[in-house]
Structure 1
Amino acid sequence: MTLQTITLGGGCFWCTDAVFTRVRGIASVQSGYSNGHVAQPSYEQVCSGTTGHNEVVRLAYDPAVISVREILEIFFATHDPTTLNRQGNDVGTQYRSGIYYSTPEQKQVADELVRQLTEDRVFGAPLTTEVLPETNYWPAEGYHQDYYAKNPSAGYCAFVVGPKVEKFRKTFARFLKPD
């Protein structure tokens, strides 16, 4: 098995992590910060909006099990790619919609899907998703990893993350990892 990586920013990384840990073919999910200009930023620095980083998840996936297009279809269905620097009540550049690719093929698939979704007016508003090479990635602090799994009844998890996970389960049941 040869794994590939792709990094996605879809708002708070707790939500994106909680969805993709359940996707078959995803070998690992790591919450982190990407595409900013500061080395080893802290959560507090990223939240200040001064580092340029985005809250992201880096996915290691098996392309023999799930395609990058399928990953991106799940990504677009589980966040709002039309709100610039915002997901729900989370506001700031660190919550922007972004696809950070690691191969030219991933870029090609992402560009094509963004073009198709835009032409088909799937979201009823222009997409704000940036498609860029992954740069300056740093893993988030340990307490952010698997946050939803460790804190399912915490307020944010119960009211924001949980509904996103349920939407994924209903919409993409065919991609669920077996229990």
Structure 2
Amino acid sequence: MSTYKKAYIAGGCFWGMEDLFRKQKGITDTEVGYLGGENDNPTYKNHPGHAEGIEITYNPDETSFKHILDYFFRIHNPTTMDRQGNDLGSSYRSTIFFQNEEEKQASEDVIKIVNDSNKWEADAVTTLEPFTKFWPAEPEHQDYLERKPDGYTCHFERFSKSFL
């Protein structure tokens, strides 16, 4: 039995990403929250510099960090700076929060694969930021699309085939 791992990513509104990731093989839990910002205890109304992101808990015997990133690049547009759908601002940036050099290298490798695929009309502007702390979002944001299936999302599978 393996020890579960965590991955931290941001790619626009956290509701849609959480809803899609929770259904993927090997994902054991998801939580939405704030990453990479300026203040402690951020809230939806006060999170300067933070990205809306998700904490993904996964079983490394069933999936990998690279496969999580592969899916990440298929469900959001990594070529738009600080924007996903109608959402604008640095809160909606495309970012991978790496926890160690291995994750940083894997992130660079996957970004190169995505860019070399020419599936997107431009190169990814996804940033790599060192993970510092994950701040869970308020309860009303957790599992939002499960409670409100017709709620807003700008995430969907843009490519069915893996980049890897």
Does TM-score exceed 0.5, indicating one fold? yes
> Residue 143 of structure 1: CA displacement?
0.8
Partner deviation per Cα, 1:116-164 (whole Å, 9 max, x = no partner): 222343312121101122123211001111100011023x25xx45xx2
Letter in 2 for 1:91: L
Q: TM-score, normalised by structure 1?
A: 0.83
Residue 171 of structure 1 is matched in structure 2 by: 160
1:105 and 2:105 equivalent? no
> Residue 103 of structure 1: CA displacement?
2.8
1:93 and 2:93 equivalent? no
**Counterparts of 1:134 and 1:57 in 2: how far apart (Å)?**
12
Q: Any stretches of 5+ residues in structure 2 without a counterpart?
A: none
Does the 8 Å CA contact 1:37/1:136 hold for their aligned counterparts?
no
Residue 81 of structure 2 is matched in structure 1 by: 84
Does the 8 Å CA contact 2:73/2:114 hold for their aligned counterparts?
no
1:8 and 2:5 equivalent? no
Residue 26 of structure 1 is matched in structure 2 by: 27
Letter in 2 for 1:85: D
1:134 and 2:131 equivalent? yes
**Counterparts of 1:86 and 1:132 in 2: how far apart (Å)?**
17
- In angstroms, what is the RMSD of aligned CA positions? 1.7
**Counterparts of 1:63 and 1:56 in 2: how far apart (Å)?**
21
Q: Any stretches of 5+ residues in structure 1 without a counterpart?
A: 173-179
Partner deviation per Cα, 1:73-113 (whole Å, 9 max, x = no partner): 11000000000000010001000001112232211111111
Q: TM-score, normalised by structure 2?
A: 0.91
Residue 176 of structure 1 is matched in structure 2 by: none
Letter in 1 for 2:118: R
1:121 and 2:122 equivalent? no
Number of aligned residue pairs: 160
Letter in 2 for 1:79: H
Partner deviation per Cα, 1:44-67 (whole Å, 9 max, x = no partner): 113xxxx10000001111111001
> Residue 115 of structure 1: CA displacement?
1.8
**What secondary structure, in the 3-state scheme, does the structure 1 residue paired with 2:28 have?**
strand
Letter in 2 for 1:99: I
Partner deviation per Cα, 1:30-53 (whole Å, 9 max, x = no partner): 10000011000110113xxxx100
**What secondary structure, in the 3-state scheme, does the structure 1 residue paired with 2:10 have?**
strand
Does the 8 Å CA contact 1:21/1:28 hold for their aligned counterparts?
yes
